[in-house]
Amino acid sequence: MSKNQKRWTKEEDRFLIQHYGAMTLQKMGEHLHRSKESVNKRLTRLNLRASDTALRKKWTLEQDAFLQENIDIMNNREMAHSLGRSPSSIATRIKVLGLTRKTAMRRWTLQEDEYLLRYYGVKPLSHISAKLQRSVQALESRLNRLEVYGAKAHVGHITVCELAACLEVDVHTI
């Protein structure tokens, strides 16, 4: 143990044992004034992480069959909703099973990005979606990747982000 690390107390260990599985590692760390990584290491030392598999839902043959049947029909979010899982869990399982989609996901072009940025906040997402032939969720995801946040509300023909930039204030202030 390095000199900067503080020792774990019996009270902290009891807290971890009591709340493991009910709270996230991040929340437990915040409560104990420790890092998420520190909490994770301590859980491992307390042999609680070995029982982690009990917290995870096992994949059934029926669920695997559902993925195989619907991989080309539904996106990960839709399959996740149908199976009661997260989209990232679906993506991981697809990789584990070695499944591939017949049609690969379309890459965003520079023209699509420009159109999206030009009309976002001016036209409804449903109109932009129809023009670009992409789902509204795909548009929202792309906007996040382009680091355009909080621009859904708009007044006239200026987005909240544009107004914030003009006023030189944070977008959340508006």
Mean of per-residue pLDDT scores for the chain: 83
CB neighbour list of residue 162: distance below 8 Å, 6 or more residues apart: 121
- 132-167 tens-digit pLDDT: 998 888 888 888 888 886 555 444 556 667 777 888
- 45-62 tens-digit pLDDT: 888 876 555 556 789 999
Residue 112: is its pLDDT beyond 90?
Answer: yes
